Amino acid sequence: MITVFTPTYNRAHTLPALYCSLLKQTYTDFEWLIIDDGSTDNTQELIGSFIKEDRISIRYKQVPNGGKHRAINKGTELAKGEYFFIVDSDDLLTSDALAKIKCWFDEIEPDKDKFAGVAGQKGTDTLHALGTTFDKDHVDIPYYDRTRFGIRGDKAEAFYTDILRRYKFPEFPGENFITEAVVWCKIAQDGYSLRYFNDIIYICEYLADGLTKNATARRIKNIRGTLYAYRYLTSVRQLPTALRFRYLLNYLRFIVHAGLKCLNL
Pairwise CA distance, residues 123 & 23, whole Å: 20
Pairwise CA distance, residues 127 & 170, whole Å: 36
CA geometry: angle 127, 133, 14, nearest 5 deg: 50
pLDDT over 60 (residue 249): yes
| pTM of the complete model beyond 0.95 | no
Number of C-beta neighbours around residue 242 at 10 A: 9
Name 163's bridge partners: none
Q: Determine the pLDDT at residue 206.
A: 64
Q: Determine the pLDDT at residue 207.
A: 60
Confidence of residue 205 (pLDDT cuts 50, 70, 90): confident
pLDDT tens digits for range 121-180: 999 999 999 999 998 999 999 999 999 999 999 999 999 999 999 999 999 999 999 999
Q: Determine the pLDDT at residue 214.
A: 73
Confidence of residue 241 (pLDDT cuts 50, 70, 90): very high
Which amino acid is residue 23, in one-letter code?
L
pLDDT tens digits for range 35-81: 999 999 999 999 999 999 999 999 999 999 999 999 999 999 999 99
Mean predicted confidence (pLDDT) in 109-122: 97
Pairwise CA distance, residues 184 & 158, whole Å: 11
Top pLDDT among 209 and 139 is at 139
pLDDT over 50 (residue 261): no
pLDDT over 90 (residue 256): no
Number of C-beta neighbours around residue 107 at 10 A: 14
pLDDT over 80 (residue 118): yes
CA geometry: angle 242, 120, 161, nearest 5 deg: 95
Cα Rg of the chain (Å, integer): 18
Mean predicted confidence (pLDDT) in 2-13: 98
Q: Determine the pLDDT at residue 209.
A: 57
3-class DSSP state for residue 129?
Answer: strand
Mean predicted confidence (pLDDT) in 80-102: 98
Name 37's bridge partners: 63
pLDDT over 70 (residue 210): no
Write down the mean pLDDT value for the chain. 93
3-class DSSP state for residue 49?
Answer: helix
Mean predicted confidence (pLDDT) in 240-263: 84
pLDDT over 60 (residue 236): yes
Which superfamily, per CATH, for 2-203? Answer: Spore Coat Polysaccharide Biosynthesis Protein SpsA; Chain A (3.90.550.10)
Range from 23-32, 79-88, 205-214, 219-228 carrying the lowest mean pLDDT = 205-214
Q: Determine the pLDDT at residue 215.
A: 86
- Work out the burial of residue 77: count CB atoms within 10 Å of its CB; fewer than 13 is exposed, 13-18 middle, 19 or more buried: exposed
Mean predicted confidence (pLDDT) in 244-250: 96
